[in-house]
Structure 1
């Protein structure tokens, strides 16, 4: 069984909350080895699985269980155990932990702080709330679709009103649940599909990202929690959400190697009101570059009335253009010498060829 009190004492010594972005530990998500891939290690109440999604190791365990259950259906992603696109989610959760974004931003509790329970995910954290929709909803859907073979009800934080069962989440967020259901159903259907592996892979990535984005849109329910953050952090948060539109449309395969490459340059701490991106002295050149590009993408899309995103989505119309799109995103986000004007010009020309 997971023993929170013992594990927190052990892991508080190994987690480093620094300004450097940390998304992995020994090539795997942060504290992956301390999460479980056995349903029996999670709490059970009245015969129903009852995880505490507001404890970091429980939430990480949801991801570990999802990956273990879906890996047998994702052989088209490539050889080896780290090719599943789902790996991007636990890596992201690790970044949220080490950057301090899962802690209580109101200061009312020590949840998530080094001075409190480092494994606590605050229900008042906007980031923790958004991630709830990208962890609990896919897990509940997977359980409903028979991937885990257990009834599930998540623990409810005191005084909060998060959906905790499949039926509850389906009632409140039907599009998110429906699209995760289609992803799991698509995994089984792909096993019988006569399509070539490259087309199966692209189709499964399409289902995966449609489900991911449905969870992201559902997380608008978290918007009121942004009031506890600086305007600089809120600007980054909103540009981070906007960037997902591009990644999703390109059917990005967020395996460990690729996901780490894109997440390492994310800011390794919560941004404060006196920060002035992209010139934040205690952040790396790469982190400042990411802040600049995310801001540019969001602002340019706003200036164009949303047409940068829609043009990009239109351009991602085939397996070939999506492959080119993934290459362009890598250049834009990771190469400081890549001109943003080049990005706009290329996607405009790509869009006309569809």
Structure 2
């Protein structure tokens, strides 16, 4: 269906791309950005069912855009209209930042096509949309989730159950997995905060996640419990969504608030789940700690973790769990890039530890300069392409 749709779009573009009679430059830019967003919908295998299409059209602007809409949207646009226009703008900027490299068919996370295509596809219990703990897969980091799934990092690290193993319940996500616990804080909380902000047009009373089989007190399951248990993280995510709805927010503004919210959720997860590192080999536990620290260092430069960037970067991550026999940072069945990444993460952890976090403070200060942020991103991307 999407191939036929895109073919029709391509024919239309070839015939009408020279049309100049738009109501304003703002309307013309929105039209071209919207066509780019449609291509992303195709890539994500978006399923335009009647219900989801109807909800989508509710957010489409009810009039042509004028020059005065360039910076601040006028009051006669609804929250959902503002959200759609900012989402289209956000996608366009991602496309521009990545140089149009959004051929993501190879980057799809596992089970992407089988995942729910709209909110109503989720299980309903007692009038509420409920999702069991093991099924909380729709994460803001689906590509990273896919790497965890493929490499066995969502399986039971205690090996007391068959949860997550190929020979057993391979779709199961273990409640004892350090990675899975972090995923929950970085997916469930942002999702509930999005509902709370009103950006999704869903009643906050209708969404509840079902608790896991153990450690229930470490998680939150609806908006009120998340607000109560993790007020700072929920506040940060709400601030992010408020700026998503603001037409004046730039791509860098959104990255700033996104990373602030991400770090807040991550800090909360550290407090509750670092004790699970004991379930892993020393090599794997060290890698997990080093990886989490590296992600913290990605926040000050406002690293744009777009889908394709994440897909390319993950080629440098280990393709299996680290075991006690993995000595040093030159593991024979890993690529040169994967061994270099392991060495770099370990080196960063040692510098951070021996400087008493001074290195992070200096890093934050330097990364306040835009030229420094741009230089870091260029060096990182060059290194990945060179060693890959």
Same fold (TM over 0.5): yes
SS in 2 for 1:222: helix
Q: Deviating runs (4+, > 6 A) in structure 1? A: none
Superposition TM-score, scaled by structure 2 size: 0.68
More deviation, 280-289/325-334: 325-334
2:381 corresponds in structure 1 to 330
Who is 1:146 aligned against?
198
Q: Is the 8 A contact 1:202 1:319 kept in 2?
A: no
Question: In the alignment, does 2:83 pair up with 1:26?
Answer: no
Within 5 Å, give how 1:51-70 maps onto structure 2: 51-55=131-135, 59-60=136-137, 62-63=138-139
Which residue number corresponds to residue 121 of structure 2? Answer: 41
Structure number with greater CO (CA < 8 Å, separation at least 6) is 1
* Alignment partners' CA distance in 2, 1:174 and 1:111: 32
Partner Cα separation in structure 1 for residue 226 and residue 275 of structure 2: 19
Q: Deviations over 1:105-136 (max 9, x none)?
A: 11111010001111110001111111111111
Query: Contact conserved, 2:199 with 2:245, CA < 8 A, in 1?
Result: no
User: Does the 8 A contact of 1:293 with 1:332 survive in 2?
Assistant: no
The number of residue pairs the alignment matches comes to 279
Name the structure 2 match of 1:171. Answer: 228
- CA RMSD of superposed structures (Å): 1.9
Q: CA deviation at 1:312?
A: 1.2
SS in 1 for 2:192: helix
Q: Distance between the aligned counterparts of 1:284 and 1:115, measured in 2?
A: 27
Shift of 1:222: 0.9
Checking the alignment, whether the CA contact within 8 Å between 2:175 and 2:214 is kept in structure 1 is no
User: C-alpha separation between the residues in 1 aligned to 2:147 and 2:162?
Assistant: 19
Query: Considering only CA atoms, is the larger Rg found in Structure 1 or Structure 2?
Result: 2
Q: Distance in 1 between matches of 2:233 and 2:149?
A: 24
Aligned match of 1:285: 336
Is residue 255–residue 302 contact of structure 2 (8 Å, CA) maintained in 1? yes
Aligned equivalents of 2:313, 2:386: Cα separation in 1:
11
Query: Is 1:90–2:154 an aligned residue pair?
Result: no
The alpha-carbon deviation at position 147 of structure 1 amounts to 2.9
| Structure 2, unpaired ranges of 5+ | 1-103
Question: Which string of whole-angstrom CA distances, capped at 9 and with x for unpartnered residues, describes residues 192-228 of structure 1?
Answer: x2x7xxxx11111101111111111111111111110
Structure 1: 5+ residue stretches without partners: 1-23, 64-85, 338-354
- The answer to whether residue 368 in structure 2 is matched with residue 295 in structure 1 is no
**Which structure 2 residues correspond to residues 266-277 of structure 1 after superposition, within 5 A?**
266-277=317-328
Q: For residues 318 and 30 of structure 1, what CA distance do their matches in structure 2 show?
A: 38
Deviation at 1:333, TM superposition (A): 5.8
Residue in structure 1 matching 2:370, options 278, 300, 319: 319
CA distance in 2, matches of 1:143, 1:278: 43
Quickly say closer, same or farther: Cα 1:334–1:246, change in 2 above 3 A.
farther
The TM-score, its normalising length taken from structure 1, stands at: 0.75
- Pairs within 5 Å for 1:87-166: 89-148=141-200, 149-150=202-203, 151-161=206-216, 162-166=219-223
How far apart are residue 178 of structure 1 and its match? 0.9
- Structure 2 equivalent of residue 8 of structure 1: none
Q: Once the 2 structures are TM-superposed, how far is the Cα of residue 336 of structure 1 from its aligned partner?
A: 5.6
1:238-277 equivalences under 5 Å are 238-277=289-328
